[in-house]
Amino acid sequence: TFFLHFRGLASLKPPSSLFAPLDTFSERHIGPDDAETSKMLSQLGYESIEAFVADTVPPKVRVSTHSVNNKSIPSFSESQLHARAKELAGLNKPFKSYIGMGYHCAVVPPVILRNVMENPAWYTPYTPYQPEIAQGRLESLVNFQTMVASLTAMDIANASLLDEATAAAEGMVMSSVSAPKKKTFVVDSGVAPQTIAVLHTRAKGFGIRVVIGDASSVLEDPKIRSDICGVLVQYPDVNGNIKDFSPLAQATHTLGALVICATDLLSLTKIKAPGEWGADVVVGNSARFGVPAGYGGPHAAFFAVTDRLKRKMPGRLIGRSRDTQGNPAYRLSLQTREQHIRREKATSNICTSQALLANMAAMYAVYHGPAGLKRIATKVHKFTQVFKAAVESIGYKALNGTFFDTLTLDVSALGSAEALHAQAAAAGINLRRIDDNHVGVSFDESVSPHDLVNLLNVFTTYASAKAFKLSDLSEPEFTVIPPELRRTSEYLPHPVFNKHHSETEMLRYIHHLAGKDLSLVHSMIPLGSCTMKLNSTSSMIPLTWPEFSSVHPFAPYDQVKGYLQMIKELEDDLCRITGFHAASLQPNSGAAGEYTGLCVIRAYHESRGESHRDVCLIPLSAHGTNPASATMAGLKVVSVKVHNDGNLDLEDLRAKAEKYKDNLAAFMITYPSTFGVFEAGVLDACQIIHDNGGQVYLDGANLNAQIGLTNPATCGGDVCHMNLHKTFAIPHGGGGPGVGPICVAEHLAPFLPSHPAMPVRGEQSIEAVSAAPFGSASINLISWAYIKMLGGQGLVDSSKMALLNANYMANRLQGHYNLRYKNENGRVAHELLIDLAEFDKAAGLKVTDFAKRLQDYGFHPPTCSWPIQTCMLIEPTESETLEELDRFCDAMIEIRKEAGDIIYGKQPKDNNLLKNAPHTISAIASSEWNRPYTREQAAYPLPWLRERKFWPTVSRIDDAYGDLNLICDCPSVEELAQH
Amino acid sequence: TFFLHFRGLASLKPPSSLFAPLDTFSERHIGPDDAETSKMLSQLGYESIEAFVADTVPPKVRVSTHSVNNKSIPSFSESQLHARAKELAGLNKPFKSYIGMGYHCAVVPPVILRNVMENPAWYTPYTPYQPEIAQGRLESLVNFQTMVASLTAMDIANASLLDEATAAAEGMVMSSVSAPKKKTFVVDSGVAPQTIAVLHTRAKGFGIRVVIGDASSVLEDPKIRSDICGVLVQYPDVNGNIKDFSPLAQATHTLGALVICATDLLSLTKIKAPGEWGADVVVGNSARFGVPAGYGGPHAAFFAVTDRLKRKMPGRLIGRSRDTQGNPAYRLSLQTREQHIRREKATSNICTSQALLANMAAMYAVYHGPAGLKRIATKVHKFTQVFKAAVESIGYKALNGTFFDTLTLDVSALGSAEALHAQAAAAGINLRRIDDNHVGVSFDESVSPHDLVNLLNVFTTYASAKAFKLSDLSEPEFTVIPPELRRTSEYLPHPVFNKHHSETEMLRYIHHLAGKDLSLVHSMIPLGSCTMKLNSTSSMIPLTWPEFSSVHPFAPYDQVKGYLQMIKELEDDLCRITGFHAASLQPNSGAAGEYTGLCVIRAYHESRGESHRDVCLIPLSAHGTNPASATMAGLKVVSVKVHNDGNLDLEDLRAKAEKYKDNLAAFMITYPSTFGVFEAGVLDACQIIHDNGGQVYLDGANLNAQIGLTNPATCGGDVCHMNLHKTFAIPHGGGGPGVGPICVAEHLAPFLPSHPAMPVRGEQSIEAVSAAPFGSASINLISWAYIKMLGGQGLVDSSKMALLNANYMANRLQGHYNLRYKNENGRVAHELLIDLAEFDKAAGLKVTDFAKRLQDYGFHPPTCSWPIQTCMLIEPTESETLEELDRFCDAMIEIRKEAGDIIYGKQPKDNNLLKNAPHTISAIASSEWNRPYTREQAAYPLPWLRERKFWPTVSRIDDAYGDLNLICDCPSVEELAQH
Ligand SMILES: Cc1ncc(COP(=O)(O)O)c(C=O)c1O
Ligand SMILES: Cc1ncc(COP(=O)(O)O)c(C=O)c1O
Ligand SMILES: O=C([O-])O
């Protein structure tokens, strides 16, 4: 009969026992099957995978298999995982939350839930660095920017930040940078406590003094006045009050300081926009626009500024430029602002942000339109009014005069707040805990009339008053918002927000945009340093179960036992994998993890009376976030050289470590290195640092190469972050969400971040680094599921296969391209770096030309011009099959031939397949064709492209034009009419 | 500020009360908003929608609003519906089922669940009658055909039938047609009872005598032998036994009769295929290949035959042909076999089948591959063996010698079966009820070791034996399948079944195919008589909740209270809408509904001693399923003429009714007519029939034009079917599933179908027409949700808007095209018929040329050449916006101009934009271009196509070539190697 192929290294044979499950995840996760694996091994000259690994990972850093195996991490089949996730879901209690504080129970329009959030075409693409194959999500992100700018009445907004608290911190730093001599930042007492906690942490690194109090009064304090760089207010504030901040804004500006305003987008349909009363920076959380609470995230924060601040704005900014055909085209603008370029001069390290969630929020606005949003806001506001009137009628006292959706109630006349909370809990309701005399109540779109009555009757029962029926409640006739605070200006007049209001149209818009974007549903995305692997459906499914998606991040611990169990299991497994002692899931991205880890290191030094240690050594080859994070943590960056062979210059390291040994705080190293090499010298390097009093921060972006083979602890690190959105299969979401937890050695554990809503960490903890106690808690489910389903063996197999796939590609490509680095056995790690400098020299062909031409072959280009300007960094991951690797290599080799034709003069240097790439259908369909190659050569250079081709929707984009003519919102009625 | 547009006729104003929900479904469902509605009305010269409707629907048949309104059918908002569905889900009890009888708890691979079943790109397309924009699902359906043919070892299989029982009935009829003189059909006693019930019903119409018994013995009965046309066996049989049917097959063939075999695909990986022991026809249910049980459906049945029977095979058949460029291309083959062509000469009326479910099953086979399927089958088989050994060790007796997954146990030594069932129920387990001494147990892929132990311990407890632990059970060393019954031949060697086994590859394959197909996610699909409206996400979501998806159709009624409540509500609402008295949800398609309705009419006549009434009058304009259904119900079809203005020739009707009055059984009429006209004469027509002793069957395919305006009862009907997949928003699934319930007047209610597993209907009921008591129960949730969310007002508004949209289009198109029919006020109904005969006369341009050219404009063509050869029938539905209607009309008008150029000789008659349509990218990208128009004219005839275009993936397909060179399976290794 025929030969059976089984997938995955651990399962070369059929399951050993009748009672073993058949739906083993590793068989589906790992791309190559046993036959393909053998073929690759023999091509590389190995008899076994073990022999191959032995040549690839330096023996010095190898770990024994006891830490990561099927005993320490037992494997669940896909259906077992599903059952286990259901079990955990059952441990979370579905309370109705009125806690507010910036988190709401969002109503996700079903068409967006299913077609964006649950659609791999939206959740698997990469950050849109290749705009020609990313116009869909770029357009949507511009919708997000436009929505934010229009609702806040600011000039320009970015394409999302991690959360409101870190956005506020970015605002604070911006104000400090704008007034470098001033060191005081004023925070109004109406700002949410989690924001204040994050500001405290962040202020430290920048030497900023945070003063909390009534902002107007503080501004009058003569001792402080002259030192103020900025003021942060919250509008409406955390207690529900809406104040007229115009006088404060004027006063602040008189001092030459910036006004930062944290706000709520929904309220801005009803109240005067911050841009209309003088705010310079407006930040907030867009989650109530259709993004589930998820016990804290993920969701997209926003950041909007006045025109004059735009070039200082952190984060990614999408602009409209034009392509070589003169058609409008979206792209990432002003990249020179980003830490990739500015490195230690950067004051923000934001890299992965929250694209998917920004897109969901934008789609929510597209679906509801300005009128729909106003309708929702009006309902929420009126429910709040109805509630206030009702509770006041039975003896409670609301402290709010002007409010939108949130009230602070004085309950002291009727008893203690705690007893009222108990009463609410009995009804399955959470109120905000303020103090013994006060509770907070906050309304959102999800509150039904039935919910309102239930809520009210917690208060009536408690007050021994008569229960309310719905018919007792009547619609308020007037708004409590005074005329001078009302919104009168127009918002969201752009056609895109006024068109797609039927579900059919919305569905088509969502799919139309998705159709422009290349994602993992099309072909491999071999991005070095990004680990674009399979994001399995099984791991995605539990995310949108209400037991996980509708949990408020400040819900009492006894309601979130399922979450806490999952978090504990994930932390334990991450510790097993890294070899460390304790973990924190709070950081919302890799860069946030770096920053957190460095803050922990600083706290450690401080605890030993060594707070002066402030030098951070960083190799020149490091990712731009490393120096940026160090700067944010208040460290001085000293660069360390790198050898031509890709390895760290140990002599330079030693020299600098010794030079700075009195002040040495940390060393940051990436392993395998950003060049894709397992350096054997890592142990020595770490020893040098330790000998000189420093701590070692290991950037775990490349952890996928390590699991069960080596680990950060064994390599000599003290702390590392992991990008769960790389190694642990959280999808990239087109540029976020991400999760960047850190793991630390035992001596650093006491310093892991705490949180105002998380009373568990010890006294030495640093303050919060994120707005929510467990960061983007809900998507941790994905990594939890990934680890549980692979189990120890599957995890190790995955790392081995990631190495094998990369080495196979290196082997195929090295005859054709200059493979920059390999170890003494000729092996690369999980990625490979090829240098294209020769083509530039010979024919002026740049990395970009190769990258754009790869688009014509239906592939997402690898990471370009990083870590070396003239290089491409290629990372296949374990999830790609040999067939797909070969397709990619074939494409690269064919492009090499095309380049040869240019070098040898068969094709002109300025008009050829590479320089003109990518080719759109529109270009191909043009009657005029004065190119020195055929349409077929442009479109179908290899035969399989006839069946399987992804078409870029715009031609190459003019970057300079875009940066010069910065346009960051979507077309207006007038502009569209012109077209 | 700005003007707020609200959507939907009922909601021109913001919600009246603060406590009214905001997520009103009709606002999302109905395309045009108030401004667009006004614009359309004024274009047609009306001040109000009421005035428009008054001119459109004949006053004589108008109903008052009291039957369908917000009182009789209150409306639920989307979130209220969600909550209500959750409530009903909670009423279904999640029992683990071992009932078997052809229904299993399937394990749906998550990647297929989310990317096929929950993906609108797969569930919203239409039947692939336009193959150039349907290559994706055509390829997948060929995978289905190949999978069936290969596993059954038959020559050819079709692209699905409704369920196993009706597939067996089709086999019976085929055998009877093949031996027209013979009238006896032998059914082996191992055949499932629901199949036998359906055979009884079907046999009646064809005058076939069904004899049940041990087939071999019956064949030897000299009184019967000579009259036998066919034999049906089940293999493995319903009791779990596997017999060697080769001798029976030989004996049957000796008699010149056909062997029909009902089988189970999974078992065929272990046992000899029916094609290998002589079966002529093989039928079955493919649901255990990853299709949820759904309380009975939907799922895809299959039908495979030997080569010599292929042209007699019922149902749709996909073949590989070639396009005008010579590339391979899939298409519907041998359409002349279908009832559309054969009408009353057809012996099958199958039209809508089960494409989506066939595709899911095919994808399951693609994902698991032959080795994976065998692994699953082996596990299921061995679990059965383990179970048998264990229960036999404690005193139960299994009656099976050779078995695959099902056992019949004699429990009499230990007590009564009923008590054992009670014991099982206490453990949340269902066993098959057989009789007082026997129970059945059937295993499937979903049974975990833990489940097995639980099941066993029902038996131990009952036998007062010691409980089993998993460790007590050991893997059987031998199979019980004797060598001569084992499968030894290869299956599924085709590359497609041996490639896509990693989730990444599978995901890409699914999306690659979806990318070839035009669906509602792209643009309107204006198919007359098909009502391609919005299939909302809210109505789809509950379908895949386990409380609905994992229910066995024969589960005891007290476990399915949620389902029964939903079914009752839906039946009640359908009765309200049609004006009838009672409903049956059993028929699985419109055509099945027709057949059922006619059977009910026959039973009614019979009950009055008038079984001789056997003449059925049918207008010439009727849909092909009407005459076919009549023939199947044993009626003689007499055609009735139609006037040139589209109306029924009442004189001809009267003449024929009177002529046949002694034998007149029924009259079938479609309303509005298939020409898209509300005939005022319908009342008179029905009166004529009633006066002559006949009953009126109203084909409800066009019910979307009627709701709340008129209804089938008011029009004079006695029974009607509804296509829930048209009017009531079940998505078309690319050619099914469908649901075709019937509603009947009070006097017909006693005759509605019963079912062996449904003890509720009365004594006069006809026997089952489907294998499951409530047909495709799970998808009824969609129509239930649709009706509940729209509520009475929304339903009526939808019908009005469907009429308005159609009349607006008629108005725009009539200056350019010959609009065939309108009423005396110039109004069409919900669809319009344009006649293209003039273009054929002037320039040889056929309907097809216009249709294919529409593809170039990104639209799915309307219904072509039906009901009139030279026409297109255009139906917009209420869900399309004015903008989309205009886009379509613009395209039609532009094509009219292109046709003008051909007529006036500016373009040659044989080489022009229409004849060469559709244009693929490949054709456009060709260097050679010797066409008398530009590439741009071919690809982008209107400006918006630059942004929004759907590309056909093959050129026009050669139909004749395909029918001549019939190839209905997917490419083999060798064929692919040639390419
Ligand atoms: C080596 C390295 N370090 C850090 C980061 C930053 O991670 P994040 O984008 O999650 O902030 C990246 C991201 O690509 C990286 O490649
Ligand atoms: C008028 C008419 N009657 C009956 C049918 C048959 O319905 P079904 O395809 O659901 O079997 C159709 C289907 O298109 C139809 O248009
Ligand atoms: O986002 C990256 O820096 O790759």
The pLDDT, as a whole number, for residue B7 is 47
Q: Which atom of ligand 1 is closest in space to residue A593's alpha carbon?
A: 11
Q: Which residue has the higher pLDDT, B929 or B66?
A: B929
Beta bridge partner(s), residue A431:
A98
Average pLDDT value for residue range A82-94? 97
Q: C-alpha dihedral over A591, A595, A596, A601, to 10 degrees?
A: 140
**Which chain A residues are closer than 8 Å to B523 by Cβ?**
508
Give the whole-angstrom CA distance, residue B781 versus residue B84: 11
Nearest to B881 among A370, A505, A522 (CB): A505
Q: Which two tokens stand for residue A240?
A: 């529900």
Which of B11, B68, B145 lies closest to B572, judged by CA?
B68
pLDDT digits (tens, 9 = 90+) for B448-460: 999 999 999 999 9
Backbone angles phi, psi at B869, to 5 degrees: -50, -40
Q: A964 touching B, CB under 8 A?
A: no
Q: B5 touching A, CB under 8 A?
A: yes
Residue type at position B707:
I
Peptide bond into A672 cis (omega under 30): yes
Measured from CB, residues less than 6 Å from any atom of ligand 1 are: A 351-352, 529-530, 589-591, 623, 625, 670, 674, 699, 701, 723, 738, 740
Collapsing DSSP to helix, strand or coil, A408 comes out as strand
Residue A813 CB contacts under 8 Å (≥ 6 apart), including other chains: A819, A832, A834, A874, A889, A892, A893
The pLDDT, as a whole number, for residue A979 is 62
Residue A111 CB contacts under 8 Å (≥ 6 apart), including other chains: A367, A503, A506, A507, A510, B28, B536, B537
In the predicted structure, residue A8 carries a pLDDT above the cut 60? no
Average pLDDT value for residue range B400-418? 96
Which of A466, A312, A384 lies closest to A100, judged by CA?
A384
Which of A435, A310, A363 lies closest to A115, judged by CA?
A363
pLDDT digits (tens, 9 = 90+) for B840-897: 999 999 999 999 999 999 999 999 999 999 999 999 999 999 999 999 999 999 999 9
The pLDDT, as a whole number, for residue B5 is 41
Antiparallel, parallel or unpaired: β B184-188 and B209-213? parallel
Q: A940 touching B, CB under 8 A?
A: yes
In the predicted structure, residue B204 carries a pLDDT above the cut 70? yes
Q: Which of A126, A339, A343, A530 to mutate to test the pocket of ligand 3 (most atoms within 8 A of CB)?
A: A530
Task: Evaluate: CB of A530 within 6 angstroms of ligand 3.
Answer: yes
The pLDDT, as a whole number, for residue B762 is 81
Confirm if A908 and A932 have CB atoms less than 8 A apart: yes
N- to C-terminal Cα separation, chain B:
63
pLDDT digits (tens, 9 = 90+) for A677-734: 999 899 999 999 999 999 999 999 999 999 999 999 999 999 999 999 999 999 999 9
Give the whole-angstrom CA distance, residue A630 versus residue A344: 7
Beta bridge partner(s), residue B667:
B617, B696
Question: Mutating which of A454, A537, A887, A920 best tests the B interface, going by the most B Cβ atoms within 10 A?
Answer: A537
- Angle among Cα A452, A454, A460 to the nearest 5 degrees reads 105
Query: What is the chain B residue with the closest CA to A542?
Result: B110
Q: A544 touching B, CB under 8 A?
A: no
Q: Given the structure tokens 């290629």, which residue do they identify?
A: A874
Average pLDDT value for residue range B137-163? 98
Which of B157, B511, B442, B413 lies closest to B301, judged by CA?
B157
DSSP letters spanning A600-637: HHHHHHHHTT-TT--EEEEETTS-THHHHHHHHTTPEE
8-state DSSP, B126: P
As to burial, measured by CB atoms within 10 angstroms (0-12 exposed, 13-18 middle, 19+ buried), residue B47 is exposed
pLDDT digits (tens, 9 = 90+) for B766-795: 999 999 999 999 999 999 999 999 999 999
Backbone angles phi, psi at B410, to 5 degrees: -90, 115
pLDDT digits (tens, 9 = 90+) for B41-70: 999 999 999 999 999 999 999 998 778 999
Collapsing DSSP to helix, strand or coil, A816 comes out as coil
Q: B31 touching A, CB under 8 A?
A: yes
Q: How confident is the model at residue A336 (pLDDT cuts 50, 70, 90)?
A: confident
CA–CA distances in Å: residue A771 to residues A199, A404, A476, A774, B963? 10, 22, 34, 9, 66
Collapsing DSSP to helix, strand or coil, A669 comes out as strand
A contact residues 60-119, partner B, Cβ 8 Å cutoff: 78-79, 107, 109-111, 113-115, 118-119
Give the dihedral sign, CA A322/A328/A332/A337.
positive
Hey, are the CB atoms on B111 and A537 less than 8 Å from each other?
yes
In the predicted structure, residue A1 carries a pLDDT above the cut 50? no
The pLDDT, as a whole number, for residue B757 is 85
Average pLDDT value for residue range A927-932? 95
* Angle between the N-to-C axes of helices B417-426 and B449-462, in degrees from 0 to 180, rounded to the nearest 10: 130
Secondary structure E strands in B353-504:
397-398, 406-410, 429-433, 438-442
Q: Which two tokens stand for residue B736?
A: 């099914």
The pLDDT, as a whole number, for residue A14 is 58
The pLDDT, as a whole number, for residue B922 is 96
Q: Which two tokens stand for residue B685?
A: 């027509």
In the predicted structure, residue A816 carries a pLDDT above the cut 50? yes
Average pLDDT value for residue range A794-817? 97
As to burial, measured by CB atoms within 10 angstroms (0-12 exposed, 13-18 middle, 19+ buried), residue A644 is exposed
Residue A527 Cα to ligand 3 middle (Å): 9
Q: C-alpha dihedral over B467, B469, B472, B473, to 10 degrees?
A: 110
8-state DSSP, A92: B
Peptide bond into B867 cis (omega under 30): yes
Q: How confident is the model at residue A151 (pLDDT cuts 50, 70, 90)?
A: very high
- Measured from the Cβ of residue A250, the count of other Cβ atoms closer than 10 Å reads 12
As to burial, measured by CB atoms within 10 angstroms (0-12 exposed, 13-18 middle, 19+ buried), residue B69 is middle
**Which chain A residues are closer than 8 Å to B445 by Cβ?**
22
Confirm if B962 and B327 have CB atoms less than 8 A apart: no
3-state secondary structure string, A846-905?
CHHHHHHHHHHCCCCCCEECCCCCCEEEECCCCCCCHHHHHHHHHHHHHHHHHHHHHHCC
Q: B881 touching A, CB under 8 A?
A: yes
Least confident piece of the model among A424-433, A644-653, B717-726, B933-942: A644-653
Give the whole-angstrom CA distance, residue B308 versus residue A645: 71
- Angle among Cα A61, A62, A66 to the nearest 5 degrees reads 135
Give the whole-angstrom CA distance, residue B298 versus residue A722: 45
As to burial, measured by CB atoms within 10 angstroms (0-12 exposed, 13-18 middle, 19+ buried), residue B743 is buried
Q: Considering chain B, what is the average pLDDT of its residues?
A: 95
Q: Which two tokens stand for residue B655?
A: 């003449």
**Which chain B residues are closer than 8 Å to A78 by Cβ?**
110
Q: Which two tokens stand for residue A237?
A: 């504030």
Which of A977, A118, A954, A128 lies closest to A510, judged by CA?
A118
Return the exposure string of B187-197: e unless at least 16 CB atoms fall within 10 Å of the residue's CB, then b.
bbbbbbbbbbb
| Sheet-wide strand order for A863-864 | A818-819, A832-835, A871-874, A863-864
Q: How confident is the model at residue B12 (pLDDT cuts 50, 70, 90)?
A: very low
Question: Mutating which of A504, A508, A786, A972 best tests the B interface, going by the most B Cβ atoms within 10 A?
Answer: A504
Average pLDDT value for residue range B904-918? 97
Instruction: Give the number of residues written for chain B.
Output: 979
The protein residue with its alpha carbon nearest to ligand 1, atom 16, reads A529
Q: How confident is the model at residue B15 (pLDDT cuts 50, 70, 90)?
A: low
Which of A119, A891, A840 lies closest to A521, judged by CA?
A119
Give the whole-angstrom CA distance, residue A739 versus residue A721: 9
The Cβ-side half-sphere exposure at B294, using a 13 Å CA radius, reads 27
Residue B487 CB contacts under 8 Å (≥ 6 apart), including other chains: B268, B269, B270, B271, B272, B273
Residue A351 Cα to ligand 3 middle (Å): 6
Hey, are the CB atoms on A925 and B925 less than 8 Å from each other?
yes
Q: How confident is the model at residue A760 (pLDDT cuts 50, 70, 90)?
A: low
B894 membership: H or E segment, kind and range: helix B882-903
Phi-psi region of B395 (alpha: psi -120 to 50; beta: other; left: phi over 0): left
